[in-house]
Chains A and B, each alone.
Chain A
Amino acid sequence: MTIITALFCACTVFLPTIGDPNSAPNQHVTPYYIENSAVDTGSPNIVTGTLADYRGFDTLWETSVMFVSGLTACLILMANTGEKQQGKKGGKKREQ
């Protein structure tokens, strides 16, 4: 475990520097977004333009994932209250 952790930490040396304009992720599609975002999406905020316009389909499923996860959490919490009324600790004390 320690060796694996040390290996991972050693690999961070080969990561690109933060804010390096010549690194691989900053070469492909980012310059186009930075140059044309304000004209294309009508919003000066590049983050909002990218999230809502260029990557709108991703955000749609992100929102639906959030809805489903909230629903699931709600259902799990509600289901446990239902079982507790019949069964274990809380139910017994309520019957007395």
Chain B
Amino acid sequence: MQVLIIEALLLLFLIFVTVCILISKDILACTIIYSAFSFCAVLTYFMFGSPDVAFTEAVIGTMSTIFFVAALKKVDRWCK
């Protein structure tokens, strides 16, 4: 039952983080919140018992955050 509660909390937090990304006007903040989303996804995958997928998600989350921040130098930071 405890595991179920943690799963429910993690999934709710995933939805919350996604809504935060959608309504944020600052693209840099979106990128950083996206890395938080990826970390939550890592924890969720661990809960469901698939360390392979969790490891991939951890590495690719780091990687894509670097990519997004590097690409952010090209575009405007604030949504209009």
Contact = CB atoms under 8 A, between A and B. Distances in A.
Nearest to B7: A18
Interface string B41-67: 000000010101000000000000000
Q: Provide the main secondary structure of the chain A interface.
A: helix
Interface of B: 48, 50, 52
A47 B52 contact: yes
Nearest to B53: A47
A47 B50 CA distance: 9
4 contacts: A18-B48, A47-B50, A47-B52, A48-B52
Q: Provide the main secondary structure of the chain B interface.
A: loop
A47 B54 CA distance: 13
Interface in A9-68: 18, 47-48
A48 B50 CA distance: 12
Nearest to A51: B52
B75 to A, nearest CB: 13
A41 to B, nearest CB: 15
A79 B46 CA distance: 41
B14 to A, nearest CB: 16
